[in-house]
Amino acid sequence: MPVYVLPNATAMTKNVAMLFGDDTKVAPGKPLDVKPGSGNLIAIYIDDADKPVAAVLCDIPFAAYAGCALSMLPAGAAKDAIKTKKLEQTMLDNLYEVMNIVSTMLMDERTPHLKLGTLYPDLSKLPADAKALLAAVAKNHADFIVTVPRYGAGTLSLLTL
């Protein structure tokens, strides 16, 4: 079974700073809850056979801050989304692009190819194969608090086979 890469805080900082600027901060964080109703969003990554092989969870604050920062939407829009726990479509579209870029952090020259499959704004919508992946990777994760400059901090959990 292939093993994908889990970045450390230094590698994570380098990559997300390309998106959000040099003032981006990354620190070790706690794992995010993978249960439906947690409010967390999840990106499922697939291999060339369309089988789920990795996942990245993020909380609503990260989703809102990253989703706003990519299009330079006002920080107030992110704070409103966090308060209501509802992301605008633009934020979700931007978050999809952020998650697409995160895929590069899960690979190196020794790992098989993977790509972003689907971003699920609700864990209860996960298909059976994605749920099985979460059970399989529960102990293989890297967790970070990412502070997006001029917006705020949120949490990312990367899980791989």
Residue 54 and residue 142 in contact, taking contact as beta carbons nearer than 8 Å:
no
Residue 101 in domain: yes
pTM value is 0.94
Residue 53 in domain: yes
Average pLDDT value for the chain: 94
Residue 50 and residue 139 in contact, taking contact as beta carbons nearer than 8 Å:
no
* DSSP SS3 for 152: strand
Token pair belonging to 60 = 């609503």
Residue 67 in domain: yes
Please say if the pLDDT value at position 64 is more than 80.
yes
Residue 48 in domain: yes
d(CA 84, CA 67): 15
Residue 40 and residue 111 in contact, taking contact as beta carbons nearer than 8 Å:
no
Q: Which domain holds residue 58?
A: 9-160
Q: What CATH number is attached to the domain comprising 43?
A: 3.40.1550
Taken as a whole, the chain contains a residue count of 161
Q: What is the mean pLDDT of residues 44-72?
A: 96
The DSSP output letter for 111 is S
Q: What is the pLDDT of residue 2?
A: 54
d(CA 78, CA 80): 5
The DSSP output letter for 140 is S
State pLDDT tens for residues 83-135.
999 999 999 999 999 999 999 999 999 999 999 999 999 888 899 999 999 88
Residue 127, CA distances (Å) to 25, 81, 108, 110, 136 in order: 33, 26, 27, 28, 15
Total domains in the chain come to: 1
Residue 3 in domain: no
Residue 143 in domain: yes
